[in-house]
Structure 1
Amino acid sequence: MKKKYGNIRLSSSELGKMLLASQQTASRLLIRMEERGFIKRVLSGKKQNITLEEKGISALYEEMAELSDLLGIIENFSISGTVSSGLGEGRYYVSKKPYVVQFSEKLGIIPYPGTLNVRILPDDESKLRMLRANEGILIGGFESDDRTYGDVKAFGCKIKNVDCAAIFPYRSVYKDIIEIISSEYLRERLGLSDGDLVKIDFTIKN
């Protein structure tokens, strides 16, 4: 799942006029943004082609989430995707007692051992980015058996009116998949198989 963002062509002078700043200030700003990995620049004559990098895209969504939080905006939205088989690690992790206790206390869910993996449709990529940028509910990591289990960010949600939670481990290898936990075995409860289309409903209260 890959989408191109922010591909524009302009000069430092043009950017300076937009920012009500000098050409030199605009040029320094672009250089700093490139050095920090927010943008990629390709010089083309007196102008330059500028593309947002992944770090820059994430930063913009984080700013949007902070503005929503500041304004107290309540967002209702849905993210759609297809059911997908995971790596089998969900069952192991969500069954760990320190996680289970927090899922119960903070989400009101004692999870069925395992997660429902939903591969997000490309058209909903921006919604997934916005969701990830929100603060969510922190499920704290812990140490056990001489290893460390990382923090998890969670959001309450529903699939066909069944209460669930979307979880995002900070160390997750997934970029376009939402892992869903529920007190019920969702594949059986909702009659789901790999490839089936599902809609996940969220209400984010900032």
Structure 2
Amino acid sequence: MGEKYTSVLMEIARHGLFDEVRISTPKLSERIGMSQQSASRLLQEIEKEGLVRRKVFADGQLVRLTPDGRALLKQKYDELSGIFSKKKISFSGKLITGLGQGGYFVGLKGYKKQFRNKLNFLPYPGTLNIKVDVKTGNLVRKLPNFILIEGFSTKKKTFGGLKCSKAKIDANGKSIVGAVILPFRTVHGEDIVEIIAPDYLREKMSLKDGDEVRIVV
């Protein structure tokens, strides 16, 4: 959904990120490089998705981005910032046992395909939970160099999106490339950072609860 609507949302945001703006379909179609019919259809679609609110009149329409629409643009901004930004941080934390749910979510087909395409590896079905101080947890969450993994729906359930970033994991004299993941929906507090990697890290790095793990993002 995100890639499809970004150009329309960006054009609306150029006129007013928080304001109600007058949008001409002919002008919009010219700016985003598609037919008037396609531009009109896209506006209707993003309205149904809850990304904009519209008031249609005989001589035009007024459009306002919703909080969800602004959030989608912010996600795209963060993703692009991550591509161009060279800012990195390193931090350490203690390994703890998680709730045992990470393997289920990481193994879902809707996530696995995106992990493979965007991180260039298929993660082991599980997460490594690292306990850090809240200040460090907040710092990690504010880094710009994150990639968006979009949520998806099945016939029975909707699964939320998440942010992720390639990371180097160091522990017990060993280094492995994996990724930090930050789910938008999580039961963890801000003092927990989750890690995924192609390997079972507890076994590969001889890890046990309480061991110190260093991460470079």
> Shorter chain as normaliser: what TM range?
0.5 to 0.7
Which TM-score applies when normalising by structure 1? Answer: 0.59
Is 1:113–2:128 an aligned residue pair? no
Aligned to 2:110: 98
Higher relative contact order (CA 8 A, sep 6+): 1
1:177 aligns with 2:192: yes
C-alpha separation between the residues in 2 aligned to 1:95 and 1:129?
Answer: 23
Q: More strand by proportion, 1 or 2?
A: 1
Please report how far the alpha carbon of residue 80 of structure 1 lies from its aligned counterpart in structure 2 after TM superposition. Answer: 1.0
Amino acid at match of 1:183: P
Runs of 4+ aligned residues of structure 1 deviating over 3 Å after TM superposition are none
* Secondary structure in structure 2 of the residue aligned to 1:92: helix
Once the 2 structures are TM-superposed, how far is the Cα of residue 136 of structure 1 from its aligned partner? 1.2
The whole-number CA distance in structure 2 between the counterparts of 1:102 and 1:126 is: 25
Residue 75 of structure 1 aligns with which residue? 87
- Tell me the matched-pair count: 134
Q: In the alignment, which residue of structure 2 is the partner of 1:35?
A: none
Tell me how far 1:96 sits from its aligned partner: 0.3
- Kindly indicate whether the alpha-carbon contact (under 8 Å) linking 1:116 and 1:180 is maintained by their aligned counterparts in 2: yes
TM-score in terms of structure 2 length: 0.56
8 Å CA contact 2:141–2:182 kept in 1: the answer is no
| Contact persistence 1:119–1:178 (CA under 8 A) | yes
Equivalent pair of 2:168/2:177 in contact (CA under 8 Å): yes
CA distance in 2, matches of 1:168, 1:126: 11
Deviations 1:35-94 (A, max 9, x none): xxxxxxxxxxxxxxxxxxxxxxxxxxx9xx98xx5xx65212202110011111101000
Q: Which amino acid aligns with 1:155?
A: S
Q: Deviations over 1:159-202 (max 9, x none)?
A: 12311011111011222111111100001111111111111011
Task: Name the counterpart of 2:210.
Answer: 195
Distance 2:138 2:187 in 1: 19
Percent identical pairs in the alignment equals 41
- Structure 1 CA distance for aligned equivalents of residues 154 and 88 of structure 2: 37
Query: Which residue of structure 1 lines up, in the alignment, with residue 201 of structure 2?
Result: 186
Q: Following TM superposition, by how much is the alpha carbon of 1:128 offset from its aligned partner in structure 2, in angstroms?
A: 2.4
- The aligned counterpart of 1:49 is none
Distance (Å, rounded) in 2 between the aligned partners of 1:125 and 1:141: 23
Partner residue in 2 for 1:42: none
